[in-house]
Amino acid sequence: MMQPPAIESSRVVAGMWRVMRWNMSREALAAFIEECVAMGVTSFDHADIYGGYEAEALFGDALASRPGLRAHIQLITKAGIKLVSPARPGHRVKHYDSSGAHLRESVERSLRALRSERIELFLLHRPDALMDAEELAREVERLNQEGKVGAFGVSNFEARDFDALHARLPLATNQIELSPFMSTPLEDGTLTALQAARVTPMIWSPLGGGRLFDEQDPVAARVRETLQAIQRERGVASWVSIAYAWIFRLPSRPIAIAGTQRIDGMRDAVNALDIELTREEWYAIWQAARGREVD
């Protein structure tokens, strides 16, 4: 069996999807990065399109203000989605582009924006119906040989698409959405395929994109009550840690992306690494989200 490339990453990753909305100064963002690193969150997840194509540059500026900090972190970024945006006036329609030329251009742009010579993990952001796997593989191999990209993976791929590309190009991960509210990867074979291939999944929106905190959502209320009951029984500081523990309990040992600007929120994710839910606890959370027992 082909051995997938190793991922250079902490188990909890700081997600930069909303960083432009945080309205942080360069100094405040640099301090946030340092605080994350101090608690063991050393990996930071980006995409070229985040913040209207501006998030990577903001992060790069923050890194540049702290000489030496780059040596202690791992950069993750994605490309392949072309948005219609003032930052990309040549884009006339939103589409996907997995061509070798676009991949290289995206890597070069991200390296400049992030003020870095290497991206530890580079991901194809979405499946592309026009993808040429041979062309993609050749360009990834060249970028790896040049030292510009470490491992290569994909994002939002279903099992069949992942397996097809993985057969030609060893993939380090598949970054997928998963939470008690969005459990499709548990049911459609996506996680099973990754476990069979010994590939570590990365999980985005592990808290349901904030749905978990919605006071008006009856499903979220059921899940919170279940999480809080487990929190009380275990004497854990935060019920949010139980939500992250639900992700970490999976046998594929996933990496979780925490997209919060709150250091306490990041700490909730880190603390979950020390919590191993029982099978009954794990299924109780899933049942609360589903509104019914498993079949």
Side-chain-side CA neighbours of 133 within 13 Å: the count stands at: 14
Whether 50 is catalytic: yes
Q: pTM above 0.95? A: yes
pLDDT band, very low/low/confident/very high, at 8 (cuts 50, 70, 90): confident
Q: Cα 47 from chain centroid?
A: 10
CATH number for the domain running over 12-172:
3.20.20.100
- DSSP-based three-state secondary structure for 35: helix
Of the candidates 210, 184, 198, the residue with the CA atom closest to the CA atom of residue 286: 184
State yes or no: pLDDT of 64 exceeds 70.
yes
* Each residue's pLDDT tens digit, 171-198: 999 999 999 999 999 999 999 999 999 9
Of 227, 224, 202, the residue nearest 213 (C-alpha) = 224
What is residue 1's predicted lDDT score, i.e. its pLDDT? 45
**Given 50, 53, 96, 283, which residue is catalytic?**
50
- pLDDT for position 3: 66
